[in-house]
Structure 1
Protein backbone atom coordinates (compact mmCIF):
# COMPACT_ATOMS: atom_id res chain seq x y z
CA UNK A 1 0.00 0.00 0.00
CA UNK A 2 1.39 3.39 -0.95
CA UNK A 3 1.39 6.44 1.30
CA UNK A 4 -1.38 7.98 -0.80
CA UNK A 5 -3.47 4.80 -0.50
CA UNK A 6 -3.02 4.86 3.28
CA UNK A 7 -4.28 8.46 3.51
CA UNK A 8 -7.24 7.65 1.24
CA UNK A 9 -8.16 4.71 3.50
CA UNK A 10 -8.03 6.92 6.60
CA UNK A 11 -10.25 9.47 4.82
CA UNK A 12 -12.76 6.74 3.90
CA UNK A 13 -12.94 5.62 7.52
CA UNK A 14 -14.02 9.08 8.60
CA UNK A 15 -16.31 9.51 5.56
CA UNK A 16 -18.20 6.36 6.57
CA UNK A 17 -19.45 8.29 9.63
CA UNK A 18 -21.49 10.59 7.37
CA UNK A 19 -25.19 9.91 7.91
CA UNK A 20 -24.72 8.27 11.30
CA UNK A 21 -26.12 9.67 14.54
CA UNK A 22 -23.70 10.51 17.38
CA UNK A 23 -25.13 9.61 20.80
CA UNK A 24 -22.13 10.52 22.96
CA UNK A 25 -18.38 11.15 23.15
CA UNK A 26 -15.89 9.88 25.72
CA UNK A 27 -12.16 10.25 25.79
CA UNK A 28 -8.86 10.50 27.54
CA UNK A 29 -8.26 14.16 28.31
CA UNK A 30 -5.37 15.86 30.08
CA UNK A 31 -5.89 18.47 32.75
CA UNK A 32 -3.92 21.14 30.86
CA UNK A 33 -3.48 23.06 28.75
CA UNK A 34 -7.00 23.94 27.63
CA UNK A 35 -8.29 26.97 25.77
CA UNK A 36 -11.35 28.53 27.34
CA UNK A 37 -11.71 31.46 24.92
CA UNK A 38 -15.30 31.15 23.59
CA UNK A 39 -14.12 32.30 20.15
CA UNK A 40 -11.51 29.50 19.92
CA UNK A 41 -12.77 26.55 21.91
CA UNK A 42 -10.24 23.75 22.05
CA UNK A 43 -10.01 20.51 23.97
CA UNK A 44 -6.79 18.53 24.00
CA UNK A 45 -7.39 14.77 24.17
CA UNK A 46 -5.24 11.69 23.93
CA UNK A 47 -8.00 9.68 22.27
CA UNK A 48 -11.72 9.82 21.54
CA UNK A 49 -14.55 7.34 21.36
CA UNK A 50 -17.84 8.12 19.73
CA UNK A 51 -20.94 6.02 20.43
CA UNK A 52 -23.49 5.93 17.63
CA UNK A 53 -27.24 5.34 17.99
CA UNK A 54 -26.87 1.73 16.78
CA UNK A 55 -24.49 1.08 19.75
CA UNK A 56 -21.46 1.00 17.42
CA UNK A 57 -18.33 2.54 18.94
CA UNK A 58 -15.62 4.23 16.88
CA UNK A 59 -12.25 5.32 18.23
CA UNK A 60 -10.32 8.33 16.96
CA UNK A 61 -6.62 8.64 17.69
CA UNK A 62 -3.32 9.45 16.00
CA UNK A 63 -0.83 7.31 14.14
CA UNK A 64 2.84 8.01 13.41
CA UNK A 65 4.19 7.94 9.86
CA UNK A 66 7.95 8.53 10.08
CA UNK A 67 8.10 12.12 11.38
CA UNK A 68 4.45 13.24 11.21
CA UNK A 69 1.33 12.18 13.09
CA UNK A 70 -2.06 11.80 11.42
CA UNK A 71 -5.63 11.01 12.43
CA UNK A 72 -7.40 7.68 12.10
CA UNK A 73 -10.85 6.37 12.93
CA UNK A 74 -11.31 2.72 13.87
CA UNK A 75 -14.70 0.96 14.16
CA UNK A 76 -13.91 -0.51 17.59
CA UNK A 77 -13.29 0.55 21.17
CA UNK A 78 -9.50 0.98 21.36
CA UNK A 79 -9.42 2.43 24.84
CA UNK A 80 -10.93 -0.55 26.64
CA UNK A 81 -8.79 -0.35 29.76
CA UNK A 82 -10.23 2.91 31.06
CA UNK A 83 -8.76 2.33 34.52
CA UNK A 84 -5.15 2.55 33.36
CA UNK A 85 -5.22 6.31 32.80
CA UNK A 86 -3.65 8.25 35.62
CA UNK A 87 -1.61 11.35 36.32
CA UNK A 88 -2.98 14.28 34.33
CA UNK A 89 -5.05 12.00 32.06
CA UNK A 90 -8.64 11.06 32.84
CA UNK A 91 -11.22 8.97 31.03
CA UNK A 92 -14.39 11.05 30.97
CA UNK A 93 -17.57 11.91 29.12
CA UNK A 94 -16.98 14.80 26.71
CA UNK A 95 -20.38 16.51 26.92
CA UNK A 96 -18.95 19.64 25.28
CA UNK A 97 -18.66 17.84 21.93
CA UNK A 98 -21.68 17.87 19.59
CA UNK A 99 -24.20 15.06 19.29
CA UNK A 100 -26.66 14.48 16.48
CA UNK A 101 -26.63 13.52 12.81
CA UNK A 102 -23.24 13.67 11.04
CA UNK A 103 -24.18 15.80 8.05
CA UNK A 104 -20.77 16.31 6.42
CA UNK A 105 -17.24 14.99 6.68
CA UNK A 106 -14.18 16.60 5.09
CA UNK A 107 -10.64 15.26 5.50
CA UNK A 108 -7.40 17.15 4.84
CA UNK A 109 -3.95 15.67 4.30
CA UNK A 110 -0.51 17.24 4.70
CA UNK A 111 2.97 15.72 4.62
CA UNK A 112 1.54 12.31 3.74
CA UNK A 113 -0.84 11.99 6.71
CA UNK A 114 -4.44 12.85 7.48
CA UNK A 115 -3.96 15.98 9.59
CA UNK A 116 -7.50 17.40 9.94
CA UNK A 117 -11.05 16.12 9.78
CA UNK A 118 -14.00 18.48 9.82
CA UNK A 119 -17.36 17.06 10.91
CA UNK A 120 -20.68 18.88 10.72
CA UNK A 121 -22.84 17.33 13.42
CA UNK A 122 -26.31 18.79 13.35
CA UNK A 123 -25.82 22.54 13.55
CA UNK A 124 -22.37 22.34 15.14
CA UNK A 125 -18.98 21.94 13.49
CA UNK A 126 -16.26 19.80 15.05
CA UNK A 127 -12.67 20.05 13.83
CA UNK A 128 -10.31 17.23 14.74
CA UNK A 129 -6.60 18.02 14.36
CA UNK A 130 -3.53 15.84 14.85
CA UNK A 131 -1.39 18.09 16.97
CA UNK A 132 -0.31 19.17 20.40
CA UNK A 133 -1.04 22.29 22.41
CA UNK A 134 1.89 23.64 24.44
CA UNK A 135 1.81 26.36 27.04
CA UNK A 136 4.80 28.69 27.29
CA UNK A 137 6.12 30.31 30.47
CA UNK A 138 4.27 33.49 29.49
CA UNK A 139 0.93 31.57 29.50
CA UNK A 140 0.81 31.68 25.71
CA UNK A 141 -0.52 28.60 23.95
CA UNK A 142 1.20 27.31 20.85
CA UNK A 143 -0.43 24.70 18.63
CA UNK A 144 1.79 22.35 16.62
CA UNK A 145 0.09 20.29 13.90
CA UNK A 146 1.33 16.90 12.71
CA UNK A 147 2.21 15.95 16.29
CA UNK A 148 0.69 13.33 18.58
Structure 2
Protein backbone atom coordinates (compact mmCIF):
# COMPACT_ATOMS: atom_id res chain seq x y z
CA UNK A 1 0.00 0.00 0.00
CA UNK A 2 1.28 3.44 -0.92
CA UNK A 3 -0.24 6.50 0.77
CA UNK A 4 0.19 10.04 -0.49
CA UNK A 5 -1.48 13.43 -0.63
CA UNK A 6 -2.54 14.55 -4.09
CA UNK A 7 -1.88 18.05 -5.37
CA UNK A 8 -5.34 19.15 -4.18
CA UNK A 9 -4.41 18.18 -0.62
CA UNK A 10 -6.56 15.04 -0.53
CA UNK A 11 -5.29 11.81 1.02
CA UNK A 12 -5.01 8.87 -1.35
CA UNK A 13 -4.10 5.21 -0.89
CA UNK A 14 -2.82 3.16 -3.84
CA UNK A 15 -2.67 -0.62 -4.00
CA UNK A 16 -1.46 -3.08 -6.61
CA UNK A 17 -3.40 -5.87 -4.87
CA UNK A 18 -7.02 -6.52 -5.79
CA UNK A 19 -9.74 -5.95 -3.19
CA UNK A 20 -7.39 -4.00 -0.92
CA UNK A 21 -10.03 -1.49 0.18
CA UNK A 22 -13.30 -1.79 2.10
CA UNK A 23 -15.25 -0.06 -0.68
CA UNK A 24 -15.53 -1.27 -4.26
CA UNK A 25 -14.23 0.81 -7.14
CA UNK A 26 -16.92 2.75 -8.97
CA UNK A 27 -14.57 4.80 -11.17
CA UNK A 28 -12.03 3.76 -13.81
CA UNK A 29 -8.85 5.13 -15.33
CA UNK A 30 -7.18 3.76 -18.48
CA UNK A 31 -3.47 3.94 -19.26
CA UNK A 32 -2.65 3.04 -22.86
CA UNK A 33 -0.38 3.74 -25.78
CA UNK A 34 -1.08 3.72 -29.51
CA UNK A 35 1.82 3.17 -31.87
CA UNK A 36 4.22 4.20 -29.11
CA UNK A 37 2.26 7.36 -28.19
CA UNK A 38 0.46 7.97 -24.90
CA UNK A 39 -3.32 8.09 -25.36
CA UNK A 40 -4.80 10.92 -23.33
CA UNK A 41 -7.77 13.22 -23.35
CA UNK A 42 -8.00 16.97 -22.89
CA UNK A 43 -10.41 17.67 -20.05
CA UNK A 44 -11.82 21.21 -20.44
CA UNK A 45 -11.17 22.11 -16.78
CA UNK A 46 -8.35 19.86 -15.50
CA UNK A 47 -6.19 19.61 -18.62
CA UNK A 48 -4.55 16.61 -20.25
CA UNK A 49 -5.07 13.30 -18.47
CA UNK A 50 -5.65 9.61 -18.98
CA UNK A 51 -9.27 8.82 -19.91
CA UNK A 52 -11.62 7.60 -17.24
CA UNK A 53 -14.80 8.20 -15.33
CA UNK A 54 -17.64 6.58 -13.45
CA UNK A 55 -18.94 3.11 -14.17
CA UNK A 56 -22.67 2.89 -14.87
CA UNK A 57 -24.75 1.08 -12.25
CA UNK A 58 -24.11 -2.66 -12.65
CA UNK A 59 -21.46 -2.12 -15.36
CA UNK A 60 -18.35 -4.28 -15.24
CA UNK A 61 -15.30 -2.09 -14.60
CA UNK A 62 -13.38 -3.35 -17.65
CA UNK A 63 -16.42 -2.59 -19.81
CA UNK A 64 -16.61 0.87 -18.23
CA UNK A 65 -12.91 1.39 -19.03
CA UNK A 66 -13.50 0.55 -22.70
CA UNK A 67 -16.58 2.77 -22.85
CA UNK A 68 -14.85 5.74 -21.21
CA UNK A 69 -11.83 5.40 -23.52
CA UNK A 70 -14.07 5.37 -26.59
CA UNK A 71 -16.23 8.27 -25.35
CA UNK A 72 -13.30 10.51 -24.46
CA UNK A 73 -10.76 9.69 -27.20
CA UNK A 74 -12.40 7.59 -29.91
CA UNK A 75 -9.91 4.80 -29.15
CA UNK A 76 -11.06 1.18 -29.21
CA UNK A 77 -9.15 -0.89 -26.65
CA UNK A 78 -8.46 -4.59 -26.22
CA UNK A 79 -6.55 -6.74 -23.73
CA UNK A 80 -7.84 -4.69 -20.81
CA UNK A 81 -5.97 -5.63 -17.62
CA UNK A 82 -6.39 -4.37 -14.08
CA UNK A 83 -3.25 -2.64 -12.78
CA UNK A 84 -4.15 -0.98 -9.49
CA UNK A 85 -6.86 0.58 -7.38
CA UNK A 86 -6.67 3.81 -5.48
CA UNK A 87 -8.90 5.14 -2.73
CA UNK A 88 -9.51 8.88 -2.57
CA UNK A 89 -10.28 10.06 0.98
CA UNK A 90 -12.62 12.83 -0.13
CA UNK A 91 -15.75 14.05 1.72
CA UNK A 92 -17.38 11.06 0.03
CA UNK A 93 -14.51 8.54 -0.40
CA UNK A 94 -14.40 6.63 -3.66
CA UNK A 95 -12.17 4.03 -5.25
CA UNK A 96 -10.89 4.06 -8.82
CA UNK A 97 -9.71 0.96 -10.70
CA UNK A 98 -6.77 1.56 -13.01
CA UNK A 99 -6.48 -0.49 -16.19
CA UNK A 100 -3.85 -0.87 -18.88
CA UNK A 101 -4.93 -1.79 -22.39
CA UNK A 102 -3.89 -2.06 -26.00
CA UNK A 103 -5.36 0.42 -28.47
CA UNK A 104 -6.62 -1.53 -31.48
CA UNK A 105 -7.76 1.53 -33.43
CA UNK A 106 -8.88 5.12 -33.21
CA UNK A 107 -12.18 6.12 -34.79
CA UNK A 108 -11.32 8.69 -37.49
CA UNK A 109 -14.67 10.52 -37.36
CA UNK A 110 -14.78 10.69 -33.56
CA UNK A 111 -16.47 13.71 -31.97
CA UNK A 112 -15.94 14.01 -28.20
CA UNK A 113 -18.83 14.81 -25.87
CA UNK A 114 -17.38 15.37 -22.40
CA UNK A 115 -13.80 16.34 -23.26
CA UNK A 116 -11.91 18.27 -25.90
CA UNK A 117 -10.91 14.91 -27.36
CA UNK A 118 -7.90 12.80 -28.10
CA UNK A 119 -4.33 13.84 -27.33
CA UNK A 120 -1.43 11.65 -28.49
CA UNK A 121 1.96 12.44 -26.94
CA UNK A 122 5.45 11.05 -27.37
CA UNK A 123 7.31 10.05 -24.22
CA UNK A 124 9.24 13.35 -24.32
CA UNK A 125 6.09 15.43 -24.86
CA UNK A 126 4.35 13.57 -22.04
CA UNK A 127 7.26 14.13 -19.64
CA UNK A 128 7.46 17.85 -20.49
CA UNK A 129 3.76 18.71 -20.84
CA UNK A 130 2.83 21.76 -18.78
CA UNK A 131 -0.93 21.37 -19.11
CA UNK A 132 -1.31 17.96 -17.46
CA UNK A 133 -4.16 17.68 -14.96
CA UNK A 134 -3.21 17.76 -11.28
CA UNK A 135 -3.53 14.01 -10.70
CA UNK A 136 -1.17 13.28 -13.60
CA UNK A 137 1.61 14.98 -11.61
CA UNK A 138 1.25 13.29 -8.24
CA UNK A 139 3.38 10.54 -6.71
CA UNK A 140 0.64 7.94 -7.12
CA UNK A 141 0.63 8.40 -10.90
CA UNK A 142 4.41 8.06 -10.92
CA UNK A 143 4.06 4.72 -9.07
CA UNK A 144 1.43 3.49 -11.54
CA UNK A 145 3.56 4.44 -14.54
CA UNK A 146 6.58 2.69 -12.98
CA UNK A 147 4.49 -0.45 -12.46
CA UNK A 148 3.23 -0.29 -16.05
CA UNK A 149 6.81 0.05 -17.28
CA UNK A 150 7.88 -2.97 -15.20
CA UNK A 151 5.06 -5.01 -16.77
CA UNK A 152 6.11 -3.98 -20.28
CA UNK A 153 9.69 -5.04 -19.60
CA UNK A 154 8.74 -8.54 -18.37
* Normalised TM-score (structure 2): 0.29
Larger RCO of the pair (alpha carbons < 8 Å, separation 6+): 2
Between structures 1 and 2, the one with greater strand share: 1
* Normalised TM-score (structure 1): 0.30
Between structures 1 and 2, the one with greater helix share: 2
